[in-house]
């Protein structure tokens, strides 16, 4: 009587921030996954065990879901269960445990992966058939319940996997590339707070008329990138990364640490590099030819970054075991 589902984390390739305002973005799913297990607990309560976020045992009465104090790490799980239970009129106690290949530090989008995997696990546990579209919609709503902001691109990557072209709130979700990308990823060591950065850009947009034009330029480059993925032209895709990075810098979301890792990556042979995600820290990415890969990895380490050994274009949400 136990169901386990898993979902991948993600890395944003092009279009962050602008995607919140309706521009498209391109995101890839990574081979680091979150696994969520649902099993009975014999009590009319929800028990959650998430040792990866430092939470060994959390209890909540079903009638209190979404109410009272919500520890930050539990909010996504709780809001998702609340939505699922309300939709299907369920009142049964369960135990949920989560486990992750990646630390929440790296900005691979663990909350999106958790809600995607949890929706899949619940749908199987309670025999409620849900297509990926329904899983995406419910998981995205739970993220909005908690964060209030966000384009849902990370939820789409966790549900559908692959490398996708995405327009919020899921009006376009289209795979643009099959398989692993020639990418090198570096972690700055600095944890970024996405909602804060989204609000900072919103403030800039309210006060500065030129921000609209920057979003327009980002839209153009994402659409060009989409075509280049089909042609597998990673040289030009690298140049578009540089262009995207310049535009993100004008929005004040890069950081000294990101700039440093981006600079050394380019100097040691990457086709192009940029921050990935909200900015302010987390990861940078580059497209790098196989012949230059070791040089770029070494340069990231020497510059004080952490090389992240990830493969991209990973499969989306799936069941790992059924009851
Ligand atoms: C954060 O990883 C990417 C942003 O575009 C926010 C979002 O799309 O939800 C800044």
Q: Note the pLDDT tens digit of each residue in 9-32.
A: 999 999 999 999 999 999 999 999
Spatial contact of 37 and 178, defined as CB atoms under 8 Å apart: no
How many A from CA of 61 to the centre of ligand 1? Answer: 33
What pLDDT score does 109 carry? 66
287: confidence class by pLDDT, cuts 50, 70, 90: very high
How many A from CA of 217 to the centre of ligand 1? Answer: 17
Residues 219, 230: Cα–Cα separation, whole Å = 18
Single out the residue of 159, 202, 182, 187 nearest to residue 303, CA to CA: 187
Residues 126, 111: Cα–Cα separation, whole Å = 22
Q: Note the pLDDT tens digit of each residue in 165-191.
A: 999 999 999 999 999 999 999 999 998
Q: Which residues pair with residue 38 across a beta bridge?
A: 3, 96
Q: For helices 72-88 and 132-147, what crossing angle results, to 10°? A: 130
User: 81 — phi, psi (to 5°)?
Assistant: -60, -40
Q: Note the pLDDT tens digit of each residue in 204-249.
A: 999 999 999 999 999 999 999 999 999 999 999 999 999 999 999 9
What pLDDT score does 74 carry? 86
Average pLDDT score over the chain: 95
Active site residue 282: no
Mean pLDDT of 298-322: 96
What pLDDT score does 102 carry? 80
Percent of the chain with pLDDT over 70: 98
* Binding pocket residue ranges, ligand 1, CB within 6 Å: 12, 16-17, 19-20, 150-151, 153, 194, 198, 277-278
Q: Note the pLDDT tens digit of each residue in 254-286.
A: 999 999 999 999 999 999 999 999 999 999 999
Side-chain-side CA neighbours of residue 80 (13 Å): 30
What pLDDT score does 7 carry? 98
- Give the strand pairing for 25-40 and 94-100: antiparallel
Which contacts of 136-140 are long-range, i.e. CB under 8 A and separated by 24 or more positions? 136/160, 136/170, 136/173, 137/170, 138/80, 138/83, 138/84, 138/87, 139/80, 139/112, 139/115, 140/169, 140/170
318 membership: H or E segment, kind and range: strand 318-321
* Ligand 1 nearest atom to the CA of residue 107, by list position: 2
Residues making up the chain, counted from first to last: 323
What pLDDT score does 151 carry? 97
How many A from CA of 43 to the centre of ligand 1? Answer: 38
* Ligand 1 nearest atom to the CA of residue 194, by list position: 1
DSSP state of 207: H
What's the alpha-carbon Rg for the chain, to the nearest Å? 20
| Catalytic site residue from 101, 154, 217, 309 | 154
Mean pLDDT of 132-147: 96
1: confidence class by pLDDT, cuts 50, 70, 90: confident
Closest residue by Cα to atom 9, ligand 1, is 150
Residues 224, 228: Cα–Cα separation, whole Å = 6
For ligand 1, mutation pick of 12, 14, 192 (most atoms within 8 Å of CB): 12
For ligand 1, mutation pick of 154, 192, 280 (most atoms within 8 Å of CB): 154
Spatial contact of 6 and 317, defined as CB atoms under 8 Å apart: yes
Count Cβ atoms below 10 Å from residue 320 Cβ, excluding itself: 15
Q: How far apart are the first and last CA of the chain?
A: 5
For ligand 1, mutation pick of 13, 27, 157, 198 (most atoms within 8 Å of CB): 198
How many A from CA of 274 to the centre of ligand 1? Answer: 14
Q: Is 60 helix (H, G, I), strand (E, B) or coil?
A: strand
pLDDT > 70? residue 134: yes
Helical residues (DSSP H) of the chain, grouped into ranges: 72-88, 110-125, 132-147, 153-160, 194-207, 211-231, 234-250, 256-267, 290-302
Q: Note the pLDDT tens digit of each residue in 79-120.
A: 999 999 999 999 999 999 999 988 766 666 689 999 999 999
User: 51 — phi, psi (to 5°)?
Assistant: -60, -25
Mean pLDDT of 285-296: 98
How many A from CA of 195 to the centre of ligand 1? Answer: 8
* Ligand 1 nearest atom to the CA of residue 197, by list position: 10
Residues 297, 305: Cα–Cα separation, whole Å = 9
Q: Note the pLDDT tens digit of each residue in 26-65.
A: 999 999 999 999 999 977 899 999 887 777 788 999 999 9
- Give the strand pairing for 183-187 and 306-308: antiparallel
Residues 46, 229: Cα–Cα separation, whole Å = 44
How many A from CA of 17 to the centre of ligand 1? Answer: 5
Closest residue by Cα to atom 2, ligand 1, is 277
């Amino acid at each position: 009587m136990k169901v386990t589902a898993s979902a991948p984390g993600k890395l944003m390739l092009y279009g962050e921030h602008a995607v919140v305002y309706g521009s498209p973005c391109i995101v890839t799913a990574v081979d680091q996954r979150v696994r969520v297990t649902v099993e009975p607990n014999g009590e009319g309560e929800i028990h959650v065990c998430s040792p990866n976020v430092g939470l060994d045992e959390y209890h909540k009465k079903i009638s209190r879901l979404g109410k009272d104090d919500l520890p930050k790490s539990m909010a996504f799980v709780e809001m998702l269960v609340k939505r699922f239970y309300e939709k299907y009129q369920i009142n049964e106690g369960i135990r949920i445990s989560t486990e992750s290949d990646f630390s929440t530090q790296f900005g691979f989008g663990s909350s999106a992966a958790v809600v995607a995997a949890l929706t899949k696990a619940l749908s199987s546990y309670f025999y409620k058939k849900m297509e990926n579209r329904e899983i995406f919609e419910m998981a995205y709503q739970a993220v909005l319940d908690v964060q209030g902001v966000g384009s849902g691109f990370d939820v789409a990557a966790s549900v559908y996997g692959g490398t996708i072209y995405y327009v919020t709130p899921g009006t376009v979700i289209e795979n643009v590339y099959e398989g692993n990308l020639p990418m090198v990823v570096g972690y700055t060591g600095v944890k970024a707070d996405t909602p804060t950065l989204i609000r900072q850009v919103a403030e800039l947009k309210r006060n500065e008329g030129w921000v609209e034009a920057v979003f327009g330029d980002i839209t153009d480059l994402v659409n060009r990138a989409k075509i280049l993925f089909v042609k597998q032209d990673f040289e030009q895709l690298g140049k578009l990364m540089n262009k995207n990075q310049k535009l993100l810098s004008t929005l004040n979301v890069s950081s000294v640490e990101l700039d440093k890792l981006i600079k050394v990556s380019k100097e040691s042979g990457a086709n192009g590099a940029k921050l990935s995600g909200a900015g302010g820290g987390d990861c940078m990415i580059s497209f790098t030819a196989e012949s230059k890969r070791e040089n770029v990895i070494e340069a990231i380490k020497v510059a004080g970054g952490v090389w992240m050994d990830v493969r991209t274009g990973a499969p989306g949400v799936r069941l790992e075991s059924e009851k």
